[in-house]
Amino acid sequence: MTAVGKNWIWFVAIMALVLALGAYLGNSRRADLGKSFDYSLDEYRVVDPALMGYAEEEPLVPSITNITSLAIAEDGTIHVGGENAVQTLPDLHTIALEATPTSLALDADRVLFVGLRDHVLEIAKDGTRKAWDSPGEKTYLSSIAADDWYVYVADAGNRRIWRHSKLKDGPPLEIGEKDWANDVRGFYIPSPMFDLAISRTDGSFWAVNPGYHALENYRPDGMPLSTWEASGMTIDGFSGCCNPSHFALLPDGAFVTAEKGLPRVKVHNVDGSLRCVVAAPNQFDDTVKGLDVAVGADGTIFVLDPNRNQVRVFKEIQ
């Protein structure tokens, strides 16, 4: 080999070394910041199989998109709110709306109450519609529940529950104002997740106080009855700063709770202790938020999964 050829080989080799060193420094300089810079929720995503009390069945798939809210009629018909519509499942009958619902409820007469962010739209069985007055500017109606006497509307924006009498005998009753003198701490709602449900037995209602990780029981006149709370990432608690994001009541009064952040669905006994897990975090996308839940008369649990645009079905393992 000539001297010129040898010089070329040296030149190419040195250049390759310089480039490789540059790439290495560029990619790995201070790359390892140390263990304290790790952030992992992996240990909380694993659920002891012995705690799994429900098995998943085939999901129901609506044809509307952007699904947000779930309600079940007394006859078992499932109603799903989504992109500018409410749809019944499994027959896919669609009721068109001018906006996407933020909440949904049905009463025993099959009157549909649709939360359209700042006001309620009432749709009677014959299709006649009536828009209610909005409670105010900041209103965000995150949940509705109705019995024979009242329609309760949870307003996450104003941190209030509005109780509307079906007799239409006056303005709605405002529930949730802070009253430290009587030990009423008010609702603490960091993000628009504020769910409520009417007890199946005594006409009282339950509401989530998400900033406290609490479920609170109230008389229809707004007087507090009882409360329980459970904070923590471990399976028996509620994680993050505003959970449970949604809940529903089982026929025996137990709570079906759904969380965001660490998405999981569980059953808590009436005293708040954990009964079992319905769906573990690894059954959802990490980013899923808004797992609305509903319970059928036979105890079947329905979970609205906005990421998959499905209503997922869970039956108790016998």
Partner 1 sequence: MKPTENKRRRDFTRGALALLVGGAALSAARSRSPKLVWQIDPEQCSRCGRCATHCVLAPSAVKCFHSYSICGYCDLCGGYLRPDAKGRNTGAENQLCPTAAIKRTFIENPYYQYTIEEDLCVGCGICVEGCSVFGNGSMYLQVKHDLCVNCNECAIARACPSDAFKRIPASEAYLLKSDQEKRIG
What residues between 102 and 121 interact with partner 1 by CB under 8 A? none
- Closest CB to partner 1 among residues 32, 126: 32
Count of all residues that appear for the chain in the document: 318
The answer to whether residue 29 forms part of the interface with partner 1 (CB under 8 A) is yes
What residues between 138 and 197 interact with partner 1 by CB under 8 A? 185, 188-191
The answer to whether residue 45 forms part of the interface with partner 1 (CB under 8 A) is no
Name the one range near partner 1 by CB under 8 A: 49-57, 106-114, 132-140, 240-248.
240-248
Q: Which amino acid is at 45?
A: R
Name the one range near partner 1 by CB under 8 A: 147-155, 163-171, 211-219, 303-311.
211-219
Contacting residue, 159, 160, 164, 213, with partner 1 by CB under 8 A: 213
312: left (phi over 0), alpha (psi -120 to 50) or beta: beta
Cβ(154)–Cβ(163) below 8 Å: no
Size of the site for partner 1 (CB under 8 A): 30
The answer to whether residue 37 forms part of the interface with partner 1 (CB under 8 A) is yes
CB atoms within 10 A of CB 45: 15
CB atoms within 10 A of CB 162: 23
Name the one range near partner 1 by CB under 8 A: 11-19, 127-135, 155-163, 207-215.
207-215
Strand partners, 144: 153
Report CA-CA distances (Å) from 307 to 10, 65, 284, 312.
Answer: 57, 10, 9, 11
State the minimum distance, in angstroms, from the CB of residue 12 to partner 1: 25
Helix (H) or strand (E) holding 13: helix 3-28
Contacting residue, 105, 154, 242, 258, with partner 1 by CB under 8 A: 242
Please give the Cα distance from 314 to 53 (Å, whole number): 9
- Following DSSP, what letter does each residue of 267-280 receive, concatenated? EE-TTS-EEEEEE-
Residues forming the site for partner 1 (CB under 8 A): 26-27, 29-31, 33-34, 36-37, 39, 41, 44, 185, 188-191, 211-213, 231, 233, 239-242, 260-262, 286
